[in-house]
Copies of this chain bind each other. A is one copy, B any other.
């Protein structure tokens, strides 16, 4: 107890798609009234923070871009910190490019000029390689062969689309690059603890002062626990109570609390 900060995953915790989880906005308001600091964290690799703030507003949750850590903004901040020349080769969606530029990085067209390859998914929401990404397999290959470091927003090879059918993700691109270069990327998004550490920096708090709330064991709980936070799994997203009964015991050790919904986190303050 005595937690000073909460990090909330968004989809499956505060909403499901465009539908808010009942009570979520009131719970956030109560935490804020109690002086708790809050960061919203998503592995989303396609949108910028500005675009995502609108989503939170539609859910009735006031938020500023500074309250958000997205895989896009986190990777931009991470690279800005480590990239001396500021020159990066960009793979993925425009929201990622926007965040890279906002972090002061220069997106170069010539792969051999880049100090970092920053990769999101080159695929669109229907599973097509986007027009802008058609040459990026070649660009990433040449940049990395010329010595560029490789970072990626998340390791997910596939994920379910709106119709439930599988779509390729950033991990498919990573697999292609690994086959071509032998190089594996640094992952910034969940399940890597890097993105959680960046959220902690934003909160100005220590790991044991904070709680990570999410709906997925393999990403949210793993990232939160690896970074040293208390973890809360909510059952309003992809994980059901029946799923929990089937899960490996080693995975259950990543979860400190299981709550029916985000509203139960009020018990922790």
- Identify the A interface with B (CB < 8 A): 123, 126-129, 133-135, 137-138, 141-142, 145, 157-158, 165-168, 171-180
Contact = CB atoms under 8 A, between A and B. Distances in A.
A134 B129 CA distance: 5
A137 B123 contact: yes
Contact of A134 (B134, B135, B165, B174): B134
Contact of A173 (B135, B141, B176): B176
Given A173-B176, A175-B179, A176-B173, A138 B167 contact: yes
A165 to B, nearest CB: 7
**Which of A135, A142, A157, A172 counts the most chain B CB atoms within 10 A?**
A172
A168 B175 CA distance: 13
A192 to B, nearest CB: 17
A145 B123 contact: no
A145 B166 contact: yes
A262 B216 CA distance: 62
Given A135-B127, A137-B129, A176 B172 contact: yes
Contacts of A173: 176
Nearest to A173: B176
Nearest to A139: B127
Given A128-B134, A134-B129, A135-B127, A166 B179 contact: no
23 contacts: A126-B135, A126-B138, A127-B137, A127-B138, A128-B138, A129-B134, A134-B134, A137-B168, A138-B168, A141-B168, A142-B165, A157-B179, A166-B180, A168-B176, A168-B180, A171-B179, A171-B180, A175-B175, A175-B176, A175-B177, A175-B179, A176-B176, A178-B179
Given A175-B176, A176-B175, A180-B157, A166 B141 contact: yes
Nearest to A178: B175
A166 B173 CA distance: 17
Given A127-B135, A129-B134, A172 B168 contact: no
A173 to B, nearest CB: 7
A134 B137 CA distance: 12
A53 to B, nearest CB: 30
**Which of A129, A166, A174, A177 counts the most chain B CB atoms within 10 A?**
A129
A166 B176 CA distance: 14
A184 to B, nearest CB: 11
Contacts of A128: 134-135, 138
A85 B38 CA distance: 57
A177 B158 CA distance: 10
